[in-house]
Structure 1
């Protein structure tokens, strides 16, 4: 099951954990707008109806699988692309089937939160949220990807603060409390 923490600032080896302070799933969702579900990998077929309901509710009409491992074509180049901070104009949805990896996303204070995903973890990264991905030291992850309509996977590298998806993300997900200092992500 997922593990989550704030990252330290050392990125000499991006595939290392870089743990500063662990946090729980709810705190991560509140601070980023990321949504999380768990489908036990041994029962994925019996939980099929829950997954189907999620797909129907969110209008996911297309799915495929991605396998990230050293034998894939241009592995090192793809890792650099995945790990470059970016956003998308649509949600990014991943259900981990095998292996493990790290999705890093920015919280409302622009600090990195690392989400260590394992089989059964499904995460939805909101459109317009800065994030990146890297497999962990095992160098293997197989995941389902879900899309609304035909798949469009276009990374929009940072800075992209003027992109409509970024503006919408900030407008929809960040609520400033009237005490002036505290901001929290809304909407999970």
Structure 2
């Protein structure tokens, strides 16, 4: 996993968008934003398109340990490609392909780009402004973990989302607003 500041140039979103000079972002900076990450090798069977669950809940691996520790009970596998293009924190485990998660840094509001590839396990906290895009390979397969029933509802940034209980809790957690 590689994180860096996004250049905000109006070109193809699927390009890396690395600033010149590059401005890397450390795991410690991401952790202050509540973004956690691990690299967990993908078992060969998990990357197979015919495997509908990625990894089973019974397998002894770091993904399942993180899911259990964080209270995640459900999962699914999502295939995102150019052809087929919530309120909870999000856990994503990349099984194949690659892409970019962008998160907003607090308090600067700058975009930080996180390049993900097979084996990357990423936790995005509830309430953080974020987005996902494919890279130029136009394909990614990821295991998504959910605390309750699988769901994902996009919320565009607005005064309403700024006042959302999850957003307010996130800002409090990262010290951007008083308790």
* TM tier, smaller: 0.7 to 0.9
Q: How many angstroms apart in 1 are the aligned matches of 2:7 and 2:94?
A: 25
Q: CA separation in 2, counterparts of 1:11 and 1:94? A: 27
**Could you say which structure has the higher strand fraction?**
1
Mapping of residues 13-92 of structure 1, within 5 Å = 13-20=12-19, 21-30=23-32, 32-42=33-43, 48-72=60-84, 75=85, 88-92=86-90
Aligned residues: CA RMSD: 1.9
The reply on whether 1:161 has 2:168 as its aligned counterpart is no
Tell me the residue number matched to 1:181.
none
TM-score of the pair, normalised by structure 2: 0.82
SS in 2 for 1:157: coil
SS in 2 for 1:156: coil
1:66 shift after superposition: 0.4
Cα separation, 1, equivalents of 2:61 and 2:98: 24
Who is 1:141 aligned against? 140
Q: Output the TM-score relative to the length of structure 1.
A: 0.78
Query: Residue 182 of structure 1 corresponds to which residue in structure 2?
Result: none
Per-residue CA deviations over 1:33-63 (Å, capped at 9, x if unaligned) read 1111110225887x83332222111111110
Q: CA deviation at 1:155?
A: 1.2
Deviating above 6 A after TM superposition, structure 1's stretches of 4 or more consecutive aligned residues are none
Deviation at 1:23, TM superposition (A): 2.3
After superposition, residues 86-165 of structure 1 pair within 5 angstroms as: 88-108=86-106, 109-159=108-158, 160-165=161-166
The 8 Å contact of residues 63 and 121 in structure 2, kept in 1 or not, is answered as no
* Mapped partners of 1:66, 1:11: distance in 2: 28
Unpaired stretches in structure 1, ≥5 consecutive residues: 76-87, 177-188
1:6 pairs with 2:21: no
Paired residue for 1:173? 174
Bigger drift between 123-132 and 32-41 goes to: 32-41
Aligned length: 159
SS in structure 2 at match of 1:174: coil
